[in-house]
Amino acid sequence: MLYSIPYPFRFNPWKHHLSWVLYQIQNFKNNIGDQNTRVDLIEIIKTINSNYVDIYIGRLSPEQIIQAIQGELKDLQVFKRLDFSIWINKNEFQFVTIHDGSVWVLREGLEKDRYIHVHPARNSPNQIRIHGNSWKTAVITKIYYPSINIFNLQTINEMRKIQLALSPIKNLNKNQRLLTQITQ
């Protein structure tokens, strides 16, 4: 369940990578007896912010994304910390496009060893934007009910109330794009 993103990058696939999350849920489904893992996963998911999150839906793995971004930064001669810091501080962030057409926002990270903070750019190809609470609800629901392919309002609201301490939603219509992605 842990992920290994190479230094000096910070990238959270739980927050920004759909196929990685689905793989982790499938892996959990295949090892369902480990309840401690479920508790750990729920705690990880709860840390995702409630604002909007941008989620990569393309074919590249997190490792391939990081490798492509690293290549771009080396080509621009801004991979080393000082060069990266100078480059970023022009705008507080920079955009990088990689070979699958996806666009990534790079910011300077706060940690010494993880100074390149990576997340998908808003409105980028291979990206969807979803409210953070909707994302958390969908992921936690799939962790608890990994075999269901059709969410119902009662189940969603149960997960929101019990696991996330969120208020119920009135209908699923606003979340159809999310539900379609997470149940594939």
CA torsion 184-3-29-40 (nearest 10°) is -120
Tens digits of residue pLDDT in 119-160: 999 999 999 998 899 899 989 988 888 777 777 889 889 999
Q: Which residue has the tokens 């990238």?
A: 11
Spatial contact of 106 and 96, defined as CB atoms under 8 Å apart: yes
* 4 or 175, which is more confident: 4
pTM over the 0.75 mark: yes
What is residue 1's predicted lDDT score, i.e. its pLDDT?
44
What is residue 183's predicted lDDT score, i.e. its pLDDT?
60
Distance CA(152)–CA(168), nearest Å, equals 12
- Which contiguous run of DSSP H or E holds residue 53? strand 52-56
